[in-house]
Chains A and B, each alone.
Chain A
């Protein structure tokens, strides 16, 4: 056997993570089986109908943007910013080139939804991007794909070839006057490049170090030109919205939180994987779809939106519904929709130690509070974990977090600090228990 043949035996088929038949009203993952990713299959599922509708019925860019606004679609990359509103920021009558960028740099620990979209339904992203480009008068786009999922990059290149050959991309699309060139680019192992301005730097062939915002990409983006960046899942939602109408999308979900959302569930559940369900689905229902907590154990805590979002204890989580507003109200954020489940056997100190190491490793180093602070956080959590913590360490952790939060160029600093505070807030006793001779402060008398 050749090395390629050997490795072939260990490839994921998506059966466990995507084709488990336990989605609820899926829009993006509907009808997929792992083999039907090609253009002909996508067309058979009604693919490129939305783009055709726009071009043949002569919908104006404004009408398309209005439809997306009406849908209540919010950015699936983590920020949850209203997509239609973002699109409307793009200058209309700009004399130079404008760009469209898809953020497929999915690297937030726990998140693996965009990979399954790109791998098993690449044309839905191409169609979504073509519609977005039309709505904003953009003629060139790039899809920046996480370097670690190189197979999805290769597949996306193949899908692009198919779309070009069929006239869905290129000059005079479907006989109209509309032109759109789309290309694939890849990263090569830097979490920070998922941050939109770092991504733009990387796409320009540089180190991926974030830029100051504002200016937002709509005024200063790729090569300094107006640029719109959206997440893979955001673009993938667009064809459904055009086909079925914005109000129908909003209806599937709850007010201010339209449509379905794909949750990547990992950690202590029986059946980890991606689950596409309507916004507002109770967390308890999602947990049930995943077969419940592993080995019949008890739920302890959940990180609801990727490693950057604050941890929530089981009691709070079980009352939440899965949407931006409910999770925010509970004190965390929906983020990228990566749900990391932890059972009652887990040590929160050990978990935080691993996350802190990650942020230290991935800090791009341009802001002192983040570069130095992430190192401090890791070293202090590490010594507590090793039983060498000091009585003052709890206060030290909070103060280091204070000194990072809100004082950095990008949100990675906050992402490193917030989990620390939440862990201490909800699971302080676990940290204290590991510190030799720790005497809890007497409660302050009022």
Chain B
């Protein structure tokens, strides 16, 4: 089902991004516009791609190429919390993989999957640029969590579950 048109608050954020570039370079704002939509709606639908294309004067396929090229854009809905654990070599040497395996067990899912209650999506990721803090995990694209021992991972998952219950109540 088609969703409502983009909210004014979102369009305002788009405008701030577009203002950074010369008029002929409006398309430069596409990365930011997609990230803004993802923050607001959790993923990028085809409808939103078409709307952003129209807003920036681009072909819809050019927007789709961007969505598909960059690893962090979600092309499909994900859990309320998307967890990206770095397992690249520097992190692998400091329990990055241990963290991923621990989360798989704790959440009862494999990497790439979402929990049945729609709360968590677990992904492996490449270097997050925080190697000295390993194990590291990025939550919902924007918040880096550092030194994530198994104990801290448990606290974080339990904490996020609790916060969701609180919101529901």
A residues whose Cβ falls under 8 Å from a Cβ of B = 1-7, 9-12, 16-17, 97, 106-112, 114-115, 142, 146-151, 183, 185-191, 202-208, 223, 264-268, 272-274, 303, 307, 338, 340-342, 346, 351, 354-355, 358, 361-362
CA distance A203 to B22 in the complex (A): 12
Q: Known interface pairs A6-B156, A12-B130. Does A188 touch B30 (Cβ–Cβ under 8 Å)?
A: no
Which residues of A sit under 8 angstroms from B21, Cβ to Cβ?
183
CA distance A146 to B88 in the complex (A): 16
Q: Known interface pairs A147-B35, A223-B25. Does A267 touch B72 (Cβ–Cβ under 8 Å)?
A: no
User: Are A264 and B152 in contact, with the CB atoms below 8 A?
Assistant: no
Q: Known interface pairs A272-B131, A338-B90, A340-B89. Does A7 touch B156 (Cβ–Cβ under 8 Å)?
A: yes
CA distance A104 to B132 in the complex (A): 17
> Counting chain A CB atoms within 10 Å of each CB, which of B127, B144, B163 scores highest?
B127
Interface size on B, residues (CB 8 A): 62
Q: Known interface pairs A6-B163, A107-B127, A205-B66. Does A150 touch B89 (Cβ–Cβ under 8 Å)?
A: no
Given A110-B89, A351-B92, 11 additional A-B pairs, CB 8 A = A6-B163, A9-B155, A10-B148, A110-B131, A114-B129, A147-B35, A149-B130, A272-B134, A307-B89, A307-B90, A354-B89
User: Are A266 and B132 in contact, with the CB atoms below 8 A?
Assistant: yes
Q: Mark B56-82, 1 if CB is under 8 A from A, else 0.
A: 101000100110011111000000010
User: Are B132 and A264 in contact, with the CB atoms below 8 A?
Assistant: yes
Residue of chain B at shortest CB distance from A350? B92
Q: Known interface pairs A6-B160, A190-B69, A338-B90. Does A205 touch B58 (Cβ–Cβ under 8 Å)?
A: yes
CA distance A48 to B49 in the complex (A): 42
Which residues of A sit under 8 angstroms from B56, Cβ to Cβ?
205
Q: Known interface pairs A9-B159, A205-B27. Does A191 touch B66 (Cβ–Cβ under 8 Å)?
A: no
User: Are A110 and B90 in contact, with the CB atoms below 8 A?
Assistant: yes
A-B contacts, 29 listed (Cβ < 8 Å): A1-B162, A6-B159, A10-B147, A12-B144, A16-B147, A97-B22, A107-B129, A108-B127, A110-B89, A110-B90, A110-B127, A111-B131, A112-B130, A185-B28, A185-B32, A187-B70, A188-B70, A188-B72, A188-B141, A189-B72, A190-B71, A205-B58, A205-B62, A264-B132, A267-B89, A272-B134, A273-B132, A354-B88, A361-B126
Which residues of A sit under 8 angstroms from B156, Cβ to Cβ?
6-7, 9-10
